[in-house]
Amino acid sequence: MLKKRIIPAIDVTNDQAVKYVQFRNPTVIGDPAELGRNYAEQGADEILYLDTTASLHSQDVKYEWIRRVAEELYIPFSVVGGIRTIDDFKRVLRAGADKVGVNTAAVKKPELLTEAANIFGSQCVVLALDAKPIKDDDGEIIRWEVYTHSAHESSGMDAIEWACRAEELGAGEIVCTSIDRDGMKNGYDIELLRSLTKTVNIPIIASGGAGNMAHILEAFKDGLVDAALVASLLHYGELTVMDIKKYLSQHDVPIRYHSI
């Protein structure tokens, strides 16, 4: 059985690590490289860095902080945000990242996923899927809609249909963030995650909403995800990665322990 992954998520803006709530109101929490090294030492399987402003403001990727992260980390890390072209993929990978994630650029130009997969391999092509529920008059969810530009703009696309197409185009895994739950600590959107994991065959990474260890367990047991992103619980010192892994192991979730 494949081991499940715990992946700390670190938002970066202006070369600083920050924490957002629903993609807004950032609070500075430290240095990206130092935070990443700390989580690696706690036993993280990977680190995911998100530049949540690059797409929104059409900024170029800043490579210096990526190089500093690469110098500090001995585990894989991904960079998401601001990647628009194959050259951007190339530069981020050359700066030291192991995977590259795209959202807005892939929605605008879906063939970018195929081009990147053909050149670099699907294993390093990550689709960042930011979704919001669309409800009927009775408050029932009828579908989830894809948002771009750091969750500020609706694409009008159905999230499940887009995930299926992205897999066909060459994405190697999907990081799915429930926008309404991001930073709220009230649990992942299990219905959304289950819909994805039962539809596509590539790994799904849960993002947005972990408020306690039971939420993370629920993502694995009920959402059937392959990995879980965790941010607030770690950033504010409520838990360590090892706390989470021990809890999951006690509840029969297969996890990997790293020797440091």
Report the alpha-carbon distance of residue 173 to residue 203 in Å, rounded: 5
Report the alpha-carbon distance of residue 158 to residue 166 in Å, rounded: 12
Report the alpha-carbon distance of residue 54 to residue 61 in Å, rounded: 7
Rounded to a whole number, what is the largest CA-CA distance in the chain?
A: 53
Instruction: Note whether 59 and 52 are within 8 A (CB).
Output: no
Of residues 11, 31, 45, 189, which has the active-site annotation?
11
Of residues 31, 45, 51, 130, which has the active-site annotation?
130
Instruction: Note whether 194 and 222 are within 8 A (CB).
Output: yes
Our answer to whether residue 11 is catalytic in this structure is: yes
Question: Could you give the C-alpha distances from 134 to 2, 25, 142, 153, 180, in angstroms and in order?
Answer: 33, 24, 6, 14, 11
Q: Which residues are catalytic?
A: 11, 130
